[in-house]
Amino acid sequence: MLTSFKRIIRFGWKNFKRNPGSSSAAVFILVIVISMITGLYLLQRPVEYLVETIEEKVDVSLYFKEEASEAEMLVLTEQLESIPEVQDVTYVSKDDALCVFKERHEQDPLLMESLEELGINPFLASLSIKAADPENYKGIIEFVEGGEHSSLIEKIDYYKKEPILQKLFSINDQVNRFGIGFSVILGIVAFLVALNQIQISLKNSKEEINTMKIVGASDWFIKGPFIVQGAVIGTMAALISVLLFFGGLSVFNSRIEASIPGLDMLGFFSNHFILILLIQLVTGIGVGVSASLIAIRKYLKV
């Protein structure tokens, strides 16, 4: 059994080296496809990073009516803080809101003069709410609007920000769907191209396969070397792809960080190296072996 296994490995490697042109072509095609699939996987990181950055800056503000007392506002604050979906609640008094406005627009003398002429504080006290997940904002707002303190609320800016939040959810969904769909298409293309290349190499081995059948070799002993050949092609393509990405990210990572501050793609690649290599190996070996099995079937019918 061990002897047969060693022969299968040796014959498979021999088949790979015997047809360097078709083997190299199959490796080249798989490198392109594996690289594109890997690129789609890595592309999710900058999209997620940008979405996360936007989400961190998104909050919802509740503005209280003039007649609302500070005690009532603080009661509502405590109620919101007790909700698991709420990450943080910040109370902003009328005076605090006025100070923030002055600091933000201190370089605008006309605006400052208009505020002075007004003679009163035009701002409302408010609560700035940060949800643990942007999808939770709707439920939080429904809790406030249906609660006992709803009569204290002058306005809620959630409905102005809702289209932005929906856009964020849509972007995530579209990227995920596109990535899955395109990966499936690439996998089919890779399989068909690899199948064609392996069929070309099998034509040169047709007489050898017929001879092995005549002398009584089992189908699996005949299939074995070509399965090994497909696995070698897939493994080489995966290793070349992972080296290309590591080298490319090592060179361009600083430029990526300069364009998108805080985004470390090389670090992401390194942290997920095992998963990325596994995806590449499964793709490469899976396509190579399955294409070999299908390609050799007709040559076994003697």
Alpha-carbon dihedral sign for residues 61, 62, 66, 69: negative
Q: Within 13 Å of residue 135, how many CA atoms lie on the same side as its CB? A: 3
pTM equals 0.63
Tens digits of residue pLDDT in 88-117: 888 888 888 888 888 887 777 777 777 777
pLDDT, averaged across the chain? 78
The average pLDDT across 181-198 equals: 72
**Residue 205 CB neighbours (<10 A):** 20
Residue 95 resides in a domain: yes
Q: Does 75 lie in the same domain as 30?
A: no
Q: Does 31 lie in the same domain as 172?
A: yes
Q: Does 213 lie in the same domain as 105?
A: no
Q: Does 235 lie in the same domain as 179?
A: yes
Supply φ then ψ for residue 247, to 5 degrees.
-65, -45
Residue 229 resides in a domain: yes
pLDDT band at 219 (very low <50, low <70, confident <90, very high): low
pLDDT band at 240 (very low <50, low <70, confident <90, very high): very high
Q: Does 201 lie in the same domain as 291?
A: yes
- Tell me: pLDDT of 8 over 80: no
Asked which of 136, 158, 180 is the last residue of a domain, the reply is 158
Residue 163 resides in a domain: no
Q: Number of structural domains, the chain?
A: 2
The average pLDDT across 184-199 equals: 71
Q: Does 153 lie in the same domain as 39?
A: no
The average pLDDT across 1-24 equals: 66
Tens digits of residue pLDDT in 111-152: 777 777 777 888 888 888 888 877 788 888 888 888 777 888
Question: Residues 61, 129: contact at Cβ < 8 Å?
Answer: yes
Give me the amino acid identity at 291: A
